């Protein structure tokens, strides 16, 4: 028996449902995708091409806003919002520093030499090829496909999901269902939950240490016993926050006013 909490990868070809099963939403999503993607692409090119640093930052803002729009399109509201908050703030600080630290005239221009163009072109093409090769291997990304009929008949609502989980926990504690049955049921619930695109709560619970990741096998101890565990993301989260703390302290150290050493008269 295999356990997989992850939604099964579906092929690109399945994205288009037969005309009878299709909803207007299925037509709207590709249209919106193309609008946002074109906007992002244009703005990204403009970011690179423009020589004025504040204009570049503005184009960058539009690109990043488009990225968050992409997240909203995929139903990941939390990630999209974080993208918006963090990067708008980040770009803002970029503008302020761009103005304050590099200003010699009223509007700042950056000159780019031919060699820099060449190097950046090579790096850019390399990165692009990595991306293209990588994405072509992933297949379908996004919420798992459901048929139009199934989309309106969720097995569990979000509220009742919690109840079902608690119930399963209880049953496992009593021993009335075994581990395999438990994890199978949980994996099914996971699929359901991912399909309903309530990512934010799952992400949040993962960050405070509740095991929400996909179920996988792990061997423990000397007896090489195999158990089924779920990943949680408390440790990565803490590492990132420590990293940020280090950066903050470093920035404060670099930016603090240098005291002049008193020279003995």
Partner 1 sequence: MALFAFSFWALWPYLLAIFAAFILIFGFMLVSAIFSVWLERKVAGRIQDRLGPTRVGGKFGWLQTLADGIKLLVKEDIIPTSADHMLFRAGPYIALVGSFMAFLALPFGNGVVAREMNVAVFFMLAVMSTEVFGIILIGYGSGSKWSLFGGMREAAQMVSYEIPMALCVLVPVIVAGSMNLNAVALQQKNGIWNWYIFHDPFTFGAFWTYFTCAMASCKRAPFDLAEAESELVAGFHTEYSGFRWLSIFMAEYGSMFAVSGIANVMFLGGWSLGLPFEMTELFGSFLGETWGTIVGNLINVTVFIFKGWFLVFVMMWVRWTLPRLRIDQVMMTCLKYLVPISCVLLMGVSLWLLVVPQFIQAYFNWLMFGVCVALLVVLIRQWYSWASSVPSDAMPGMWRSIGVPGYQGAKR
| Segment lying near partner 1 (by CB under 8 A), choices 54-62, 111-119, 161-169, 244-252 | 54-62
Distance of alpha carbon 213 from alpha carbon 228, whole angstroms: 12
> Alpha carbon 224 to chain centroid distance?
35
| Segment lying near partner 1 (by CB under 8 A), choices 81-89, 118-126, 169-177, 240-248 | 81-89
Please select the residue that binds partner 1; options are 10, 107, 112, 251, rule is CB under 8 A.
107
Q: Among residues 145 and 171, whose Cβ is nearest to partner 1?
A: 145
27 makes contact with partner 1 (CB under 8 A): yes
Phi/psi for 52 (5° steps) reads -85, 130
242 makes contact with partner 1 (CB under 8 A): no
74 makes contact with partner 1 (CB under 8 A): no
Distance of alpha carbon 80 from alpha carbon 100, whole angstroms: 30
| Segment lying near partner 1 (by CB under 8 A), choices 78-86, 160-168, 245-253, 256-264 | 78-86
Q: Among residues 9 and 15, whose Cβ is nearest to partner 1?
A: 15
132 makes contact with partner 1 (CB under 8 A): no
227 makes contact with partner 1 (CB under 8 A): no
150 makes contact with partner 1 (CB under 8 A): no
Distance of alpha carbon 60 from alpha carbon 45, whole angstroms: 9
| Segment lying near partner 1 (by CB under 8 A), choices 93-101, 123-131, 208-216, 244-252 | 93-101
Instruction: Output the smallest distance, CB 207 to partner 1, in A.
Output: 14
Q: Indicate the DSSP class of residue 261.
A: P
Question: Number of residues in contact with partner 1, rule: CB under 8 A?
Answer: 40
Q: Can you state the percent helix, strand and coil of the chain, rounding each to 5?
A: 65, 5, 30
Q: Give the per-residue contact string, 4-23, with partner 1 (x = CB under 8 A; - = no).
A: --------xx-xx-----x-
DSSP string for residues in 22-55: --HHHHHHHHHHHHHHHHHHHHHHHHHH--BHHH
Phi/psi for 225 (5° steps) reads -75, 135
Three-state DSSP class for 227?
strand
Instruction: Output the smallest distance, CB 20 to partner 1, in A.
Output: 12
* Residue 197 CB partners (closer than 8 Å, separation 6+): 75, 76, 143
Phi/psi for 114 (5° steps) reads -60, -40
> Which residues form the interface with partner 1 (CB under 8 A)?
12-13, 15-16, 22, 24-28, 30-31, 33-34, 52, 54-55, 58, 61, 65, 77-78, 81-82, 84-85, 88-89, 91-93, 95-96, 99-100, 106-107, 198, 200-201
């Amino acid at each position: 028996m295999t356990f997989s909490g992850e939604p099964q990868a579906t092929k690109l070809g399945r994205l288009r449902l037969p005309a009878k099963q299709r909803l207007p939403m299925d037509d709207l999503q590709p249209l919106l995708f193309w609008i946002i993607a074109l906007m992002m692409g244009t703005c990204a090119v403009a970011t690179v091409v423009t020589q004025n640093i504040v204009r570049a930052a503005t184009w960058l803002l539009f690109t990043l806003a488009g990225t968050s729009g992409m997240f909203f399109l995929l139903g990941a509201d939390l990630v999209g919002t974080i993208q918006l908050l963090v990067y708008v703030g980040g770009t803002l600080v970029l503008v302020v520093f761009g103005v304050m630290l590099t200003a010699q005239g009223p509007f700042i221009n950056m000159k780019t030499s031919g060699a820099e163009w060449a190097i950046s072109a090579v790096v850019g093409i390399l990165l692009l090829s990595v991306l293209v090769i990588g994405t072509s291997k992933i297949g379908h990304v996004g919420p798992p496909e459901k048929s139009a009929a199934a989309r309106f008949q969720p097995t569990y609502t979000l509220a009742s999901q919690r109840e079902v989980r608690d119930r399963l926990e209880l049953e496992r504690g009593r021993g009335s269902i075994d581990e395999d049955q438990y994890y199978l049921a949980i994996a099914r619930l996971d699929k359901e939950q991912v399909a309903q695109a309530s990512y934010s709560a799952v992400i949040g619970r993962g960050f405070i240490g509740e095991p929400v990741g996909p179920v996988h096998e792990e061997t423990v101890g000397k007896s090489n016993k195999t158990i089924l565990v779920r990943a949680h993301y408390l440790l990565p989260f803490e590492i990132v926050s420590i990293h940020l703390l280090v950066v903050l302290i470093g920035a404060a150290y670099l930016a603090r006013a240098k005291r002049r050493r008193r020279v003995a008269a």
